[in-house]
Structure 1
Amino acid sequence: MDNKKNNTSFSMIQRWASGINAIVSALVLLVIVIMINFIAARHFVRIKLDPESTGKLSSMTLQILHSLTNTVDITVFYDTSEVSFSFIDSLLREYKSECPFLNIVTVDYVKNPGLAAMIKEKYRLTFPQTKNEVLFKNLVIFDCNNRVKAVYDKELWDYDLSDFLSGKESEIRRAAFKGEMLFTSALIVVSDNRVRNAYFVTGHGEHSPISQEANTGFKDFASILELNNIQVNLLNLTSTNRIPEDCNLLVIAGPVNRYLPEELNKINDYLKSGGRTLILFRAGLHAGIYTGLESLLSEWGVNVGSDMIFDVTATITGQDMQVTNFTLSHPIMKPLANSRLYVSLPRSISRKEQAKVDADAPIVEELAFSSKNGIAITDIRNGLGYPKPTDKRGELPLIASIEKGNVPGVTGDFALTRMVVCGDSYFLSNQIIDSLANRDFAVLAVNWLIDRPYTMGGIGPRPIGKYKLNLSRTQRNLVWITFAGVIPCSILFVSLLVWWNRRN
């Protein structure tokens, strides 16, 4: 009888102990989950499924974030139910984790109209459209010391219209998210109070910065300048006595006609006074055209060849070339290690051999080369090259930088003349600029020319593409059965086994 009571008593204690143990275990698990979410919220990591992505913010974005010293207020003025909001929120969390000077506030104008009205009042002078509820919504506002930049929802996406226009889909598909590109650009704009101006020379058949034509237009290149807080202007050298004093960057993009002597003198005077210039020569059909810039650059220690470089081991179509041979010690090319440029058949751009080098002579550095299989073809007829035994062969230069300091009578940032000369201009055209690392080269070259080192830490941000997983009907049914049937039933079966084992 006593043994029966002891067994009953022991069994009751055991059951209470098991119950308490289960409750404590559940509480511990809950605490662990809460702690994991707490830590994750403050140490955010964004994982990209893009096969070409590293899964992190770009090195350029990181360098800009780490260089900030002033507080930047970021207001996410959004309907939080919008598709873009989750992308924006995730991205800005990662920005915040890298920079303590970002103050991020989300204002849902639908759920909190009172706070939304305060934001509109604050920025009513900056944005006249604040009175219009249709125009002033779904935007991100960057504000640093009253320098304000807004990024609108419609700017954040590239759209694919093909399926919509063909009738396959009833909605326009969002193809790529450009948040990092635009947010990093906004940080540059509001944190740098200096407005820089780029002037594109016109009148000689140059590529136009306002043209959207695929092969010859430079609209996308001009957009890169604007994203980097550089205003784009046009300049006709015959209508001015000198290049404007506010010109921080002179762009000569692929002329096909000869410059007048007085125009060349204006360019040379600008360079001698500490000017910054990007010169791009047309390749292929126009490789043998003399523009007058060749003689001007010769005075600065650069040879521009009347040729086109062909590399049989680096071509895809026979009219192009992938370039991987860089001078990685130069600030422009160092971030491009393990990258490739995609160019048309370029003219050779080489350092001029001089018998005697003066102490104040320009420093010419060759930046990019063909492989050892390159050949500089000089016999060009109707856009086609005919190799000759006398043509130069080997690692042939196609891009060069020129630098000269101690400009008399000039002080400050622009006491140093800088030039970048490229043997091809088409590689920065609308159609090709997003190929391989062409865009990155453009950004690095421009920022080196205008002497903005904090934006030259590496490769810049890229749009994040949205990838669609296409499954057959059988595959969709298999996925549905797996998640709706197999997994729940497996969990239930394991639970029943555990229950039965504990019961016995």
Structure 2
Amino acid sequence: MKRFAQGSAAGMSTLLLWAAPLLIIAGLSAGFVTQRWNWLPLSLLSLGGIALLLWLIQQSRVSSGFWGRRSTQTSTNALLTVIAVIALLGIVNFLADRYTLEIDLTENRAFTLAPETRDVLQNLDQPVRVLVFDPNAASRDRLLLEQYRRQANGQFSFEFIDPQEQPALAKKYNVTQVGQVIVVAGKKTQRIDENLSESNLTPALIRVTSDRPIRAYFTTGHNELPLIGGAASLSEVAKLLEQRDVQLQPLNLLEKGKIPEDANVIVVAGPRQPFLRLEQDLLKEYLNRGGSLLLMLDVDVNAGLEDLLKNWGLTLDNRWVIDGSGVGQQVGLGPDTIIVSTYGNHPITQRFAQGPSVFPRAQAIRVDPVKDDNIVEIALSGPQTWAETEWKSGNLEFTEGVDTKGPLPIGVAITRQLSNNPPKEARLVVFGDSEFATDGVIAYQGINSDLFVNSVLWLGDRDQKALSIRPRETTNRRLQLNVTTSRWIEMISVFLLPLVGFGSAVFVWWRRR
């Protein structure tokens, strides 16, 4: 009986010895990770303290010289080692939860948020909730939303909701099908009907947190490019602008007789008839009082805006820029279509890197800087391009001394300081082509839409928040095998490799025998 009692005491002592540090570390970890010292971490700490106290009392009663024994010192060292290891694991887990480190090794950085998105998230000044009405959402959606949450400094949260279990909430936000996403900030909401992605979630965030929209007026009455229609329209870029809370309005200067006071940007997109003197004066006056104007002017078209451009130190070259590199021809483009991959250092283009944009039948812009103006050539043709003088004849060959060799500016952005107190400036962006923003050209998958959208947003004074974000395209890396190759791979993996392994084992056994 005495031996049985001693064995039971020893077992209880070992149990308390292990339970005490585990409970203490669990309580500390729960409190630090959740930052809530509620009943759970406090209960774990209390149980750990009680277990440690009971163990000490039991050891003291068993032996009066307990603390002087060598076994006690060894056990104490072991206990301290266990506590240190568990504490280290708790600290590592705490740091991993608070400060995550991710390395994106994918080819197109598919799991890395764009700098534009990080700027928007880090500047959120109000809480934003994302409600995904799909209880079984894809793991990529959860990963994307978790990335947003980590970048938003506590201002971003998300929730996956089953519309069948919460029909009242689904009715409140007019959810009609599973998979719809609602972005909520205060009283403003924005619906996302397509698959959740960075290219549609970030614009939705901007729209619900914006304190004011940009109003962009597109001039009419001169056979400009339409906002709706087919390949020759601006419908795709118009849709992108509307997603970024840009209100698009038509403006007939002759009928209106003035430029609306709420106009943030005026867009002149590919006019085919000249602006009359009254209209020219209205645009000049608009710029002189601190307005923003986007001009997209085609070659050999008299838009009647020469005087306005001259006041800003610009002249249209009125010759086609020809691509002599042959790169465009490899993808089915003619020599009169240039591929631009060189951009100036400007908020419109600062994140483009070397992405290509396509300009069909573009003209260069001659720049004679006006004093104190900040002029940036935001898009330049390559060194193997030239401005062709005989472009009308179809003889597209470079002639030394007659044609102008590239690089040539295709797009120019100018900022003019009008006054310092109060600060006031005018902004002008000019492209020597209008087709680059049409639906038919954007289909080439370049960054044409980014170039146009970012120009409008910069002119509307939103260059730091709402720059365009394109969806990430995943390269198809699938290996297509024919039937014969598939059978050989199957035979090698199922029969030959196991046979080689088994034969090697038999050979080693035989040699050792």
Same fold at TM > 0.5: yes
Match of 1:89 in 2: 142
Shift of the 44–362 alpha-carbon distance from structure 1 to 2, 3 Å rule, reads closer
Match of 1:19 in 2: none
In 2, the alpha carbon distance for the partners of 1:139 and 1:483 equals 45
Give the one of 434, 439, 457 matched to 1:447.
Answer: 457
The one-letter amino acid of 1:151's match is: I
The one-letter amino acid of 2:119's match is: Q
In 1, the alpha carbon distance for the partners of 2:192 and 2:496 equals 46
Post-superposition CA distance 1:435-470 (Å, at most 9, x none):
33323323332222111243378x724144484844
In 2, the alpha carbon distance for the partners of 1:386 and 1:105 equals 61
Post-superposition CA distance 1:167-194 (Å, at most 9, x none):
xxxxxxxxxxx61111011111111121
Q: Is the 8 A contact 2:429 2:455 kept in 1?
A: yes
Q: Is the 8 A contact 1:342 1:427 kept in 2?
A: yes
The one-letter amino acid of 2:376's match is: E
Q: Higher Cα Rg: structure 1 or 2?
A: 2
**As a proportion of its length, which structure holds more helix?**
2
Shift of the 454–331 alpha-carbon distance from structure 1 to 2, 3 Å rule, reads closer
1:180 aligns to 2:192 (yes or no):
no
Post-superposition CA distance 1:269-323 (Å, at most 9, x none):
22222111211122xxxx1221112332112221112212223126523121122
1:376 aligns to 2:387 (yes or no):
yes
> In the TM superposition, what are the counterparts of 1:231-310 in structure 2 within 5 Å?
231-282=247-298, 287-310=299-322
In 2, the alpha carbon distance for the partners of 1:482 and 1:231 equals 63
In 2, the alpha carbon distance for the partners of 1:372 and 1:386 equals 15
Shift of the 76–290 alpha-carbon distance from structure 1 to 2, 3 Å rule, reads same
Q: Secondary structure at the match of 2:386?
A: strand
The alignment covers a number of residue pairs equal to 406
The one-letter amino acid of 1:196's match is: I
In 2, the alpha carbon distance for the partners of 1:392 and 1:468 equals 43
Q: Secondary structure at the match of 1:119?
A: helix
In 2, the alpha carbon distance for the partners of 1:101 and 1:479 equals 52
Match of 2:340 in 1: 323
Give the number of the structure with larger relative contact order, counting CA–CA contacts within 8 Å between residues 6 or more apart: 1
Q: Is the 8 A contact 1:428 1:438 kept in 2?
A: yes
Q: Is the 8 A contact 1:306 1:347 kept in 2?
A: yes
Q: Is the 8 A contact 2:108 2:474 kept in 1?
A: no
Match of 2:167 in 1: 117
Q: Is the 8 A contact 1:273 1:407 kept in 2?
A: no
Match of 1:106 in 2: 160
Q: Is the 8 A contact 1:380 1:386 kept in 2?
A: no
Post-superposition CA distance 1:1-59 (Å, at most 9, x none):
xxxxxxxxxxxxxxxxxxxxxxxxxxx9xxx9xx99x969995969686x444541222
In 2, the alpha carbon distance for the partners of 1:193 and 1:311 equals 44
Unaligned runs of 5+ in 2: 1-84, 329-333
Match of 1:161 in 2: none
Give the one of 79, 104, 116 matched to 1:60.
Answer: 116
1:196 aligns to 2:209 (yes or no):
no
Report % sequence identity: 25
The one-letter amino acid of 2:140's match is: F
Give the one of 398, 411, 435 matched to 1:426.
Answer: 435
Match of 1:145 in 2: 186
Deviation, 1:332, is: 2.2
Q: Is the 8 A contact 1:418 1:449 kept in 2?
A: yes
In 2, the alpha carbon distance for the partners of 1:41 and 1:407 equals 47
Q: Is the 8 A contact 1:60 1:461 kept in 2?
A: no
Q: Is the 8 A contact 2:108 2:473 kept in 1?
A: no
Match of 2:224 in 1: 206
Deviation, 1:250, is: 1.2
> In the TM superposition, what are the counterparts of 1:15-26 in structure 2 within 5 Å?
none
In 2, the alpha carbon distance for the partners of 1:101 and 1:258 equals 50
Shift of the 139–267 alpha-carbon distance from structure 1 to 2, 3 Å rule, reads same
Deviation, 1:471, is: 4.5
Return the TM-score normalized by structure 2: 0.69
Deviation, 1:486, is: 9.4
In 1, the alpha carbon distance for the partners of 2:243 and 2:488 equals 46
Q: Is the 8 A contact 1:274 1:407 kept in 2?
A: no
